[in-house]
Amino acid sequence: MPYRSISFAAVAVALLLGGCSSPRYVRPDVPVPPSYRGETVPRNSDAASNGPPASFGDLSWQEVIRDEDLSKLIREALAYNPDAQIAAARVLEAQAQAAVSRSALFPSVDALASYLNSRSDATDTSAISLTASLGWELDLWRKIRNTSAAARAAVLASEQARRAVVQTLFSDVASNYFLLLDVDLELTITRQARRLREDSLDLVRLRVDNGYSSGIELHQAEVLAKSAQTALTQLELESEQTENRLAILLGRNPGPIVRGRSLLEQDLVPRLPPGLPSTLLERRPDIRQAEEQLIGDHALVAVAKAAFFPNISLTASGGLASSALLNLFKVSSGTWVLGPAATLPIFHAGAIRAGVRGAEARRQESLLNYQKTVQQAFREVADALATSQKLAELRAQQEELVEALRQGADLADLAYKGGVDSYLEYLDSERQLLDARLLLVQIRRRELTNVVALYCALGGGWR
């Protein structure tokens, strides 16, 4: 009979331990393509034989950016941008919370000193005590350990969130800087067009005075000159607004921004292959943040299940108590108390089971968010690769178009001055040339911005 009782107790304990245990976290399977869609850069076979192929995302941002003035702006933004500082403070907050969670694994010790004086008409009594107390919750069901694991995952998730903020900040500074250079070049081109149109207006006025042109041609020339001035004013406004936006990213008050190389002189890092898609899971901060969130929620499921089992704690206290200060440190004044306690949930109207279901639902939500983040990352890389290829083709086509329109404008100018074509033909060719030149500048800016977008989509190389 005693043997059966011992066996039954052992089985019961084993069932309790097995019931509250949680399976070890295993990274979910996600479909990883063998290569990125739109990848056109051939891989280096020698490098592939010696290890993983080089990736554009493995470079540091200092290797990507060649403009020293832009590099200074990025360093300033990383140091003083409020969003970056907020993200860093959140990491410290998560680290402190993890330390609080971990402290529950160890006993807590407190000291208490008290003095009590009670006086009535007949008596005057006093009591003095010095007491030290110890409390320790036994983590038999790993509730505290799993809570600590979830807090540790939150620290890692906050660190990845900080990296994502830094990555976005790098992208925003570079993109706005390239936009500023774009506007500068468009201003230069528009000022040239305005001078040409003003010269043309003077010529038309002279021809009207001498009876060679009509008032309609003069009106058309005036409209064209005024439209150039309007476009110039709009570009000046956009330039100032872009400077203000960039200054805020740097943590400054709105003000002017120092430029380095012009847009056409920008020389970003030579093109490298994007690398293996599987490495994206380790490099992208948003993917790693989503996975750390999943790890934390996985641990919290075990914490919720542990609420089904007894909560066992040990408490002890000891000290000295006396009615007189002189007798406080005598042996007879010593006191001690030892009180182990266990709390077993009996009836909570389904609250504990609902807590488990809620934790499992949060874990499922984190799992789906992780899978969604991975797919989104692959799409961003594919989009950036496709954009890179098409923009290169578009720039080559636009350069040919600009050259053809320039020749056409020169011929139209000669034909008008020679009296062969009307002034309207010349105006149309000149307007097409201006639009084509401005579009070429915008395409070049989009190319530079897309290099930054591809770098960030690959996870960057923040070291």
Q: What is the DSSP string of 166-199?
A: HHHHHHHHHHHHHHHHHHHHHHHHHHHHHHHHHH
Residues in Cβ contact with 111 at an 8 Å cutoff, skipping those fewer than 6 apart = 130, 131, 132, 133
By CB atoms closer than 10 A (0-12, 13-18, 19+), residue 341 is exposed
Q: Which domains does the chain have, with CATH numbers?
A: 28-101+143-309+359-457 (1.20.1600.10), 106-138+311-344 (2.20.200.10)
Instruction: Check pLDDT > 60 for residue 125.
Output: yes
Report CA-CA distances (Å) from 222 to 198, 417, 426: 8, 18, 14
pLDDT of residue 105: 87
Nearest to 69 by CA among 183, 167, 180, 189: 180
CA angle 444/446/451 to nearest 5° reads 100
pLDDT at 461: 64
Q: How confident is the model at residue 206 (pLDDT cuts 50, 70, 90)?
A: confident
**Mean pLDDT within 180-184:** 96
- Structure confidence at residue 43 (pLDDT): 54
Residue 24, classed as helix, strand or coil, is coil
Mean pLDDT of 14-22: 50
Determine the pLDDT at residue 82. Answer: 94
Q: How confident is the model at residue 396 (pLDDT cuts 50, 70, 90)?
A: very high
Question: Please, are residues 183 and 159 in contact by the beta-carbon 8 Å criterion?
Answer: no
Give percent of the chain with pLDDT exceeding 70.
85
- Cα separation, 3 vs 9, whole angstroms: 10
Going by the DSSP 8-state scheme, the letter that residue 330 receives in this structure is S
Comparing 86 with 329, the larger pLDDT belongs to 86
Q: Which of 173, 163, 167, 164 is nearest to 248 (CA)?
A: 173
Most confident of 32-36, 73-77, 113-117: 73-77
| Closest C-alpha among 391, 423, 401, 21 to residue 204 | 423
- Predicted local distance difference test score (pLDDT) of residue 164: 93
Q: Tell me which long-range contacts 86-90 makes (C-beta under 8 A, separation of at least 24).
A: 86/165, 87/158, 87/161, 87/162, 87/165, 87/166, 88/162, 90/158, 90/161, 90/162
Contact 200, 119 (CB under 8 A): no
| Residue 1 clears pLDDT 70, i.e. is over it | no
Q: Which of the listed ranges 63-67, 77-81, 272-276 does the model predict with the highest average pLDDT?
A: 77-81
**Residue 331: pLDDT band by 50, 70, 90 thresholds?**
low
First to last CA, the chain: 67
Q: From residue 204, how far is each of 192, 193, 433 by CA, in Å?
A: 18, 16, 20
Kindly list the distances between the CA atom of residue 133 and the CA atoms of 62, 108, 112, 317, 318, in Å, as whole numbers in the listed order. Answer: 57, 8, 8, 4, 7
Q: Which residue has the tokens 């903020």?
A: 165
pLDDT, tens only, 236-294: 999 999 999 999 999 999 999 999 889 988 888 767 888 888 888 889 999 999 999 99
**Residue 33's CB: how many other CB atoms inside 10 A?**
12
**Model confidence over 425-458: pLDDT tens digits?**
777 888 889 999 999 999 999 999 999 999 999 9
Mean pLDDT of all residues in 333-357: 83
How large is the average pLDDT for residues 133-159?
90
Q: How big is the CA angle at 270 (ends 374 and 160), to the nearest 5 degrees?
A: 30
Map residue 110 onto helix, strand or coil. Answer: strand
DSSP alpha helix (H) spans, 36-115: 45-50, 61-64, 68-80, 82-103
CA geometry: angle at 27 spanning 24 and 33, to 5°? 160
CA 167/CA 60 separation, integer angstroms: 11
